Structure 1
Amino acid sequence: MSVVKSIELVLPKDAIYLAGSSIKGEVLLILNSTLVDPIVKVELVGRGYVEWNEEIGASRDYSRDVICNNKADYVHKTKTFPVEDNWLSAGSHTFDFHFNLPPRLPSTFTSKMGHVSYFLQASCMGRERILAKKRMYLLVQGTSNFHKEKPLQNPLSVQTEKKVSYNCCSQGTICLQIQMEKNTFTPGERVIFTTEINNQTSKSIKTVVSALYAHVQYEGFTPNAERRSRVDSSELLRQEANTQITPFNTTKIVSAFNLPQVMSVSSNTAEREIMSTCYELVSTVHLPWSLASVKAKVPIVITSAPVDSDNRPLPGEGTFTCEPESAVQSPDF
């Protein structure tokens, strides 16, 4: 029978930790018998890793792929608990701990190309042998000092107009507009927006889809230390409105999204991080009778105030941003 019956980490349930804040918890160790010269410790580890395959191209060796990767260590702290008289009796033993997270951390993140993970690991050793260990992953929300030097006027309107053909010789215009009170949000916040569709055709419009996309730019290196980057997009949230927008009519649809509780903040690549993220709200009018669609896009900024923030803006140069195809900053709706 093992000397250690169990070792557990005790933390608040479903806690989300903000970069720069404190993590407080307990290590609960239960022994079956007396343990001499124990080493009981807990570690806080945060790291990120990205990897993807990239074809070299026909000009070089098109028969093989290049593996591009990159990694980062964000935090590694260890606390070893003092043990009186260098022995622990059979039964339960509780050890309190707390760690201060660094003020600049990326959020917990997972995708097919990379991840950012944080975990606590408690362990108990005896005579240079690990007797038991327990790992618990954490949700960490990154922070930013993201501020627009020239913020978009509020309220904000983004508009797209497209001429479409149908019934062989017929043509008409679809005007799609997204209206928002603001375009800067924090994780967990509710995003409310209005989609206005002006249908200047003789056909009805039945479906309007709104979705929030995350565009992530990954930074990596080839085995020859050549820097490479790659952008991958994913759909975070989606709503489909089944409506009946009659010919030569205008309809408004009010929609709302509840953002995830943990999100990567809008970031730049000037600091050469392994990944950076921007967001985009896209409304799409599908026109099956013309085999076309009309889209309006709004860049969305996700920010989270740092602990004791001094509110300094991030550098503007080198910023990876989502730009709308057509934007009208309208103060009159």
Structure 2
Amino acid sequence: MSVVKSIELVLPKDAVYLAGSGIKGQVVLILNSTLVDPTVRVELVGRGYVEWNEEIGASRDYSRDVICNNKADYVHKLKTFPVEDNWLSAGSHTFDFHFSLPPRLPSTFASKIGHVFYFVQASCMGREHILAKKRMYLLVQGTSDFHKENPLQNPLLVEAEKKVSYNCCSQGTICLQIQMEKNTFAPGERVIFTTEINNQTSRCIKTVIFALYAHVQYEGFTPNAERRSRVDSSELLRQEANTQIMPFNTTKIVSTLNLPQVLSVSSCTRDGEIMSTRYELVSTVHLPWSLTSVKAKVPIIITSAPVDPDGCPLPEGATPEQIPDGSGGGNG
């Protein structure tokens, strides 16, 4: 029977940690018997990596792929807890810890090409090897200074118009407009917009789809240290409106999309970054009777304000236990 019965991490459930804020928790170690010369630790780790296969090209050898990858270390902090008299008795022992996240971090992220992940890991070591360990992954929301650079936002209007053909010799025009009070949002916020469809055809329009897309540009290197980039798009949110827009008529649709609690902030690629993200809201009018569609696209900016050193606001969905109080760790 192992001397360590269990080791657990106690952290607020489903908490979202804002870059620059604090992480407070406990390590609970339960022993079956006395442990001599123990080492009990907890570490905070944040890493990112990207990897994809890319054809070298017909000018070289089109039969082979080259692997492009890149990685980054964002944070690595370690705390070793003091143990009185260098031994722990059988039973339960509690160790308190506190870490401060760096003020500039990318958000937790996962795709087929790239990952950004954060975790807290507790471990208990004997004289020669690890006796037990426990890892918990964290949701971290990155921040940006966009709100400082653009304090005011004007109402936005985007229009798309398309002449469509149907019944061989018939033609008509579809005009699609998207109106928004603003196009800059924070993670967890609601995106409210109005879509106006002017149907100048003799056919009925039945389906309008709204979707939010993330376009991520990944930066990597080949084995020969050649810099490469790749853009990949994914649909984050989707909403379908079943409507009856009659011929030669205009209809308005007010829609709401609730953003996820954690999102990469809008950014441009800078030196040392492995990925950058931009967002786009797309309204699509499907016209099956003409085998075509009409799309209007609005660029959306996702931003998250940095932590105020004086106020230290909580991120959405977080709990008061996350606010740093300057306390250290100890054992019980």
* TM-score, scaled to structure 2: 0.91
Q: Aligned residue for 1:277?
A: 277
- Residues 22-42 of structure 1: CA deviation (Å, up to 9, x unaligned): 000000000000000000000
- Residues 132-168 of structure 1: CA deviation (Å, up to 9, x unaligned): 0000000000001125867885211100011111111
CA distance change for structure 1 residues 79 and 180 in 2, over 3 Å: closer, same or farther? same
1: CA distance, partners of 2:23 / 2:90? 28
Q: Aligned residue for 1:16?
A: 16
Q: Aligned residue for 2:176?
A: 176
1: CA distance, partners of 2:96 / 2:267? 35
Contact 2:50/2:274 (8 A) holds in 1 = yes
- The 3-state SS of whatever aligns with 1:53 is strand
Matched, 1:25 2:14: no
Q: Aligned residue for 2:142?
A: 142
What's the C-alpha RMSD, in Å, of the aligned pairs? Answer: 1.4
1: CA distance, partners of 2:275 / 2:187? 18
Q: Which runs of 5+ in 1 are unaligned?
A: 311-333
Counting matched residue pairs gives 310
* TM-score, scaled to structure 1: 0.91
Q: Aligned residue for 1:264?
A: 264
CA distance change for structure 1 residues 84 and 46 in 2, over 3 Å: closer, same or farther? same
2: CA distance, partners of 1:215 / 1:276? 8
Counterpart amino acid of residue 72 in structure 1 = A
Q: Aligned residue for 2:167?
A: 167
In the TM superposition, what is the alpha-carbon distance from 1:291 to its structure 2 partner?
A: 0.5
CA distance change for structure 1 residues 215 and 148 in 2, over 3 Å: closer, same or farther? farther
Alignment of 1:1-333 (within 5 A): 1-147=1-147, 154-308=154-308
Runs (4+) of structure 1 moved beyond 6 Å?
A: none
1: CA distance, partners of 2:295 / 2:185? 22
1: CA distance, partners of 2:303 / 2:67? 32
In the TM superposition, what is the alpha-carbon distance from 1:270 to its structure 2 partner?
A: 2.5
In the TM superposition, what is the alpha-carbon distance from 1:308 to its structure 2 partner?
A: 2.5
CA distance change for structure 1 residues 29 and 150 in 2, over 3 Å: closer, same or farther? closer
Contact 1:145/1:309 (8 A) holds in 2 = no
Contact 1:108/1:264 (8 A) holds in 2 = yes
Single out whichever of 269-278 and 209-218 deviates more from structure 2. 269-278
2: CA distance, partners of 1:187 / 1:126? 43
CA distance change for structure 1 residues 151 and 233 in 2, over 3 Å: closer, same or farther? farther
In the TM superposition, what is the alpha-carbon distance from 1:271 to its structure 2 partner?
A: 3.6
CA distance change for structure 1 residues 242 and 39 in 2, over 3 Å: closer, same or farther? same
2: CA distance, partners of 1:124 / 1:138? 21
- Residues 36-62 of structure 1: CA deviation (Å, up to 9, x unaligned): 000000010000010000001100011
CA distance change for structure 1 residues 25 and 60 in 2, over 3 Å: closer, same or farther? same
CA distance change for structure 1 residues 309 and 201 in 2, over 3 Å: closer, same or farther? farther
Alignment identity in percent? 89
1: CA distance, partners of 2:46 / 2:63? 37
Q: Which runs of 5+ in 2 are unaligned?
A: 311-332
- The 3-state SS of whatever aligns with 1:93 is strand
- The 3-state SS of whatever aligns with 2:146 is coil
Q: Aligned residue for 1:329?
A: none
- Residues 205-238 of structure 1: CA deviation (Å, up to 9, x unaligned): 0100000000000000000000000000000000
CA distance change for structure 1 residues 156 and 56 in 2, over 3 Å: closer, same or farther? same
- Residues 88-146 of structure 1: CA deviation (Å, up to 9, x unaligned): 00000000000000000000000000100000000000102100000000000000112
2: CA distance, partners of 1:272 / 1:124? 35
CA distance change for structure 1 residues 175 and 300 in 2, over 3 Å: closer, same or farther? same
Contact 2:160/2:176 (8 A) holds in 1 = yes
Contact 2:144/2:265 (8 A) holds in 1 = yes
